């Protein structure tokens, strides 16, 4: 018959068995440390104080750095990539903005979503789990893996790691539950008998009465201030709720370092899978892009007189200026996003990369020249008319940030068609930096 402890050792995965005692102790400590950010995050959900969110994020960042440092902190900081530094600075900048101005109602959802996405990318980059080793065209797949595949794939790692016994733990004496019950009953009986003895002796000595009453007054004041008791109650309420989140964080932050082979995605294999979907003939993409360019040309020719009104602000009333600025703004933005969607579809479904062909490069250059024109037109509607005449509002600030990102992406795409470089990486860098600045602009100009 196999003992339960022996059976658990037989079921331990091989990659865990290969860990040295020092590494095993490190990861077991991490299992307990993962409770801290999870608990603080759960408290943040049920409270209106954003300080718990800040503390939870800082604790999670500290856990990530502590886990990777292992026992050589100097090399840990030397090996940081540009993505690591920018993502860490972005997380800290967003947390600082929350600490300064909180979570404004108009910006709260965007801030929380951005903070979570930034943190996920930060952990993936620090753990060297980005598919391309850096930001690239497959970064959206990285986001899905960071939110779902990796943490839930290692969801039970924390409980499994906690159950593994080390050699030093096998020799620890176990506490008999019967002894605990005996001690507890003895304390209750002693308190009852002690109370009776104190009440009798207080009659005999006034000094003893004063001392015992002083002690009773101190204990009464201690229990009357229920702040510490409230924290204890919160621990029993929020503690169980934080267990799944703690397992999620351990599966995201620490478990991939233990189980590197299963966590690291292979870029070549993903490209091999994508090749099965690249069946669209190149002439089909030419027809689609050419048709859109023809429509855009017709629009600019037929709407030239309508567009002239945008430059004549001195001759129109404020009401007309408002309607002119609002009309068509988001439609122009959607057209620009449509063109980027077509470019992405060409990458994933076209049988050839049309930007490598001369005709395809001409079509794409024309398409994104129109995209830039539409984005600049939308920017003029927003900045030149609406904000210039009516000032900033939260929605206009967010729209302004988005349209500047769109213009930057378009310029990078046009430059990439002329010369090969990591345009997607730079686009994500700009989005990351500008988004980190957005709460500060909101706090300075809106609040």
- In the structure, what pLDDT confidence band is assigned to residue 211 with cuts at 50, 70 and 90? confident
Distance separating alpha carbons of residues 252 and 147, to the nearest angstrom? 8
Structure tokens, 57 = 């994020």
Quick check: pTM over 0.75?
yes
Q: Is 398 helix (H, G, I), strand (E, B) or coil?
A: helix
The angle that helices 282-302 and 358-379 make with each other, rounded to 10 degrees, is: 40
Give 399-421 pLDDT, tens digit per residue: 999 999 999 999 999 999 999 89
Judge whether 131 and 265 are in contact, CB under 8 Å.
yes
Spans of all domains in the chain: 4-169+234-265, 177-226, 277-445
Give 379-394 pLDDT, tens digit per residue: 888 888 778 877 888 8
Quick one: pLDDT at residue 216?
Answer: 77
b vs e for 79-97, b when ≥16 Cβ sit within 10 Å of the residue's Cβ?
Answer: eeeebbebbbebbebbbeb
Indicate the burial class of 430 (C-beta count within 10 angstroms; 0-12, 13-18, 19 or more).
middle
Quick one: pLDDT at residue 150?
Answer: 93
pLDDT, average across residues 187-199: 80
**∠ Cα 49 51 54 (to 5°):** 135
Give 109-154 pLDDT, tens digit per residue: 999 999 999 999 999 999 999 998 899 999 999 999 999 999 998 8
Please tell me the number of Cα atoms within 13 Å of 133 on its side-chain side: 6
Within 8 A by CB and 6+ apart from 71, the residues are: 22, 26
Give 305-323 pLDDT, tens digit per residue: 666 666 665 555 656 656 6
3-state SS string for 116-163 = HHHHHHHHHHHCCCCCCCCCCCCHHHHHHHHHHHHHHHCCCHHHHHHH
Quick one: pLDDT at residue 4?
Answer: 43
Residue 232 has pLDDT above 80, yes or no: no
Distance separating alpha carbons of residues 407 and 402, to the nearest angstrom? 9
Distance separating alpha carbons of residues 60 and 285, to the nearest angstrom? 45
């Amino acid at each position: 018959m196999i003992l339960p402890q022996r059976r658990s050792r037989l079921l331990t995965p091989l990659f865990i068995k290969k860990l040295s005692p020092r590494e095993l102790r490190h990861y077991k400590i991490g299992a307990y440390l993962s409770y801290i950010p999870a608990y603080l995050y759960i408290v943040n959900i049920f409270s209106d104080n954003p300080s718990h969110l800040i503390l939870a994020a800082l604790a999670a960042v500290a856990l990530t750095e502590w886990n990777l440092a292992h026992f050589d902190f100097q090399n840990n900081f030397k090996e940081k990539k540009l993505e690591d530094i920018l993502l860490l600075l972005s997380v800290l900048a967003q947390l600082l903005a929350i600490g300064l101005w909180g979570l404004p109602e108009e910006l709260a959802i965007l801030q929380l979503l951005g903070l979570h996405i930034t943190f996920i990318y930060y952990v993936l980059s620090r753990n060297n789990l980005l598919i391309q080793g850096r930001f690239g065209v497959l970064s959206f797949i990285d986001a899905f893996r960071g939110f779902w595949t990796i943490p839930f794939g290692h969801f039970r790692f924390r409980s499994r790691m906690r159950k593994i016994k080390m050699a030093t733990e096998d020799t620890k004496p176990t506490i008999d539950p019967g002894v605990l019950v005996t001690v507890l009953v003895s304390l209750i009986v002693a308190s009852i008998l002690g109370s009776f003895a104190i009440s009798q002796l207080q009659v005999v000595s006034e000094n003893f009465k004063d001392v015992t009453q002083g002690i009773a007054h101190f204990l009464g004041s201690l229990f009357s201030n229920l702040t510490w008791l409230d924290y204890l109650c919160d621990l029993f309420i929020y503690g169980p709720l934080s267990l799944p989140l703690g397992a999620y964080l351990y599966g995201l932050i620490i478990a991939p370092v233990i189980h590197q082979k299963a966590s690291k995605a292979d870029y070549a294999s993903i490209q091999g899978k994508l090749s099965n979907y690249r069946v669209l003939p190149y002439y089909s993409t030419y027809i689609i892009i050419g048709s859109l360019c023809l429509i855009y040309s017709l629009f600019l020719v037929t709407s030239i007189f309508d567009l002239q009104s945008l430059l004549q602000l001195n001759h129109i009333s404020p009401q007309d200026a408002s309607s002119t600025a609002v009309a068509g703004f988001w439609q122009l933005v959607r057209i620009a996003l449509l063109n980027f969607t077509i470019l992405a579809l060409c990458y994933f479904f076209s049988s050839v990369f049309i930007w490598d062909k001369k005709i395809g490069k001409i079509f794409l250059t024309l398409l994104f020249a129109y995209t830039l024109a539409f984005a600049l037109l939308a920017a003029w509607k927003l900045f030149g008319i609406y904000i210039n005449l009516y000032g900033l509002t939260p929605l206009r600030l967010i729209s302004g940030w988005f349209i500047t990102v769109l213009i930057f992406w378009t310029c990078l795409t046009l430059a990439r068609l002329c010369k090969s470089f990591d345009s997607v990486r730079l686009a994500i860098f700009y989005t990351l930096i500008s988004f980190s600045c957005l709460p500060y602009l909101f706090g300075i100009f809106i609040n």
